Structure 1
Amino acid sequence: MSQINGLPAHILFVHAIVVLVPLVAVGVVLSALWPAARVRLVWPTAALATALLVLTPLTAEAGESLEHQVDSTALLHTHTELGDTMPFVAAGLFAAAMLVGALHVLDSRGSMPAARVRLLTVVTALVAVLVGVGATVQVYRVGDSGAQATWQDRVGVAAGESP
């Protein structure tokens, strides 16, 4: 799918990715660190992580289609290289969301010793924070490189002119 209603699909899909990555990251981190939030957020976060897992490769595929329709530049190459990491980022967020979901199920059953639940909670929280922060930083990097590739020298001060 390279176009939607005459517009490049990549441009439209990217907006969902830019919203979903930080949203899922915050949901995963809050669910991992705060048991009261986990009760309410774990399954909506898991659903959004699943949507992100599906949408990210579609966005990358649409981006590759768009890449062949524009001039090749070093900035575009940088954006493409960074963008190629996003399916892995989405997979990491999905895995973290599933880990938090598993913690929630195990904790709610009450069948594990409290010490083991605490250890699992600490490990899950550590994974959630690392993956959540990393994913948010990476989506920023990819988005910034895409904006630079698209808009550099097109708005603001023209290249070579002083402000």
Structure 2
Amino acid sequence: MRARRGAIHIRSDAVRKHLAGIPLRQRGGPEVYTPEMTDKTYRRLVQLGVELALEGYSVILDAKFDRQALRGMAIEQAQQCGIPLRILYCHAPEPVLRERLQRRTLPSSGPGELLNVADIADATADLLAQQQAQWQDFSEGERRFLQVLDTSQDLQAQLQRS
């Protein structure tokens, strides 16, 4: 999707670790996941996205956006700046999510180290139930921007239907 669309991909995981001053490949501790740090991370993520979009780039803000307030902040900024917006809600059946999370990180060989260099995220399968419980459904206002994608199915076919 990114290569075909030529978008700049900004991950909340990278922004969070940058703001915390820790290397991307190092696992963040509880201090990196406080409500204050989450707010700071999403504000910076949206700020970067807006700045790039105003320069003419297509941007993907890759984050959980599990709360309406976080999504609302992004929508409000996009609307204030006249930036077209689309919410791609990626989901998959729970067993698929669990398997992907288990595969994503391997046991560390040292304190805080991730072995899978392809992914910098700290989320593990152990956090899946907690993250799902925190999810706030899309509001009526958000639904006009929404496209639902089942990532266990062919994404190109789903994107072409939009």
* TM-score bin (small chain): under 0.3
Q: TM-score if structure 1 supplies the norm length?
A: 0.25
Greater relative contact order structure (CA < 8 Å, 6+ sep): 1
More strand by share: 2
More helix by share: 1
Bigger radius of gyration, 1 or 2? Answer: 1
